Amino acid sequence: MAGLIAITRDVSPSIVDCELTHLAREPIDVERARAQHSEYERALERLGCTVMRLPAGSDLPDSVFIEDIAIVFDEVAVVARPGAVSRRAEIADVAAAVSRHRPVVHIAAPGTIDGGDVLAAGRSVFVGRTTRTNDEGIEQLRTALAPCGYCVRPVAVRGCLHLKSAITQIDDRTLLANRRWILEEEFADFDLIDVDTAEPMGANIVRVGPNLLYATAFPRTLDLLQGRGYAAVTIDVSEIAKAEGALTCCSLIFQSSRS
């Protein structure tokens, strides 16, 4: 029977050596990060996902942020080539996992893409041009997705790590955004809801089928969402956030292929 699958990856003890771009390094309590990650997985299960957790892999500090390593569409899984060299050793295990569910296409050198820069909204696939994702990678993604009828749309990102730090999807028509980090005209086909100005990191929300999963760190934006009629399940991921990860980063969520 078809249903939602969420592939996750355990928190590595080496997360303390994670890549950092915008945040200062703070001590990370690995056990606390693991407990939060388990809560995240439980929330995904409650929202209807079958969670499949991969082991962290030895000495892969950022492997919990599995979103960056693959982008799973209904027709194909694109295995990314992360912009941070330290993260390329994460590829093999994730490629093997997604290949059980979809045909796989790989982004090849010199192309780079982090999955966190890819926002698929219907047949539009927005891709942030960032320090992690280059034009060669975007062209390879376009070529991989063209036969499936997707339109790849490169977009500007400034002030944050990934496109999905700045904007994610709430429903088919609506995106949650920090407009300071994107060019709103590039998303003119959608309605935008703004994060509260006191919560610039609040634009990352996970869509799980008809439901939403959101971080407790952004109560003002949650209020705004509730005022617009959206309900969200909330969890605390404060320890994981010290590694510059947000909620979408910790899973690959997709429909299981029908058998």
| Catalytic residue list | 162, 249
Round to whole Å and give the CA distance between 67 and 71.
7
Question: If binding is defined by CB under 6 A, does position 75 make contact with ligand CIR?
Answer: no
Question: If binding is defined by CB under 6 A, does position 205 make contact with ligand CIR?
Answer: no
Q: Which residue in this structure is represented by tokens 């760190």?
A: 217
Q: Which of residues 11-50 bind ligand CIR (CB under 6 A)?
A: 18-19, 21
Contact 133, 149 (CB under 8 A): no
Tell me if the bond preceding 110 is cis, omega within 30° of 0: yes
Choose the stretch contacting ligand CIR; rule: CB under 6 A; options: 48-56, 72-80, 135-143, 243-251.
Answer: 243-251
Choose the stretch contacting ligand CIR; rule: CB under 6 A; options: 61-69, 172-180, 214-222, 226-234.
Answer: 61-69
Exactly one of 113, 215, 243, 247 binds ligand CIR (CB under 6 A); which one? 243
Taking only Cα atoms into account, the Rg of the chain, rounded to an integer number of angstroms, comes to: 17
Question: If binding is defined by CB under 6 A, does position 65 make contact with ligand CIR?
Answer: yes
Phi, psi of 247 (to 5 degrees): -70, -45
Question: If binding is defined by CB under 6 A, does position 202 make contact with ligand CIR?
Answer: no
| Measured CA distances, 229 to 170, 221, 235 (Å) | 11, 13, 19
Which one, 37 or 162, has the nearer CB to ligand CIR?
162
Question: If binding is defined by CB under 6 A, does position 244 make contact with ligand CIR?
Answer: yes
Exactly one of 28, 152, 203, 249 binds ligand CIR (CB under 6 A); which one? 249
Round to whole Å and give the CA distance between 13 and 248.
21
Exactly one of 51, 60, 161, 224 binds ligand CIR (CB under 6 A); which one? 161
Round to whole Å and give the CA distance between 93 and 52.
13
Round to whole Å and give the CA distance between 213 and 204.
9
- List residues near ligand CIR by CB under 6 A: 18-19, 21, 62, 65, 67-68, 84, 87, 116, 161-162, 164-165, 243-246, 249
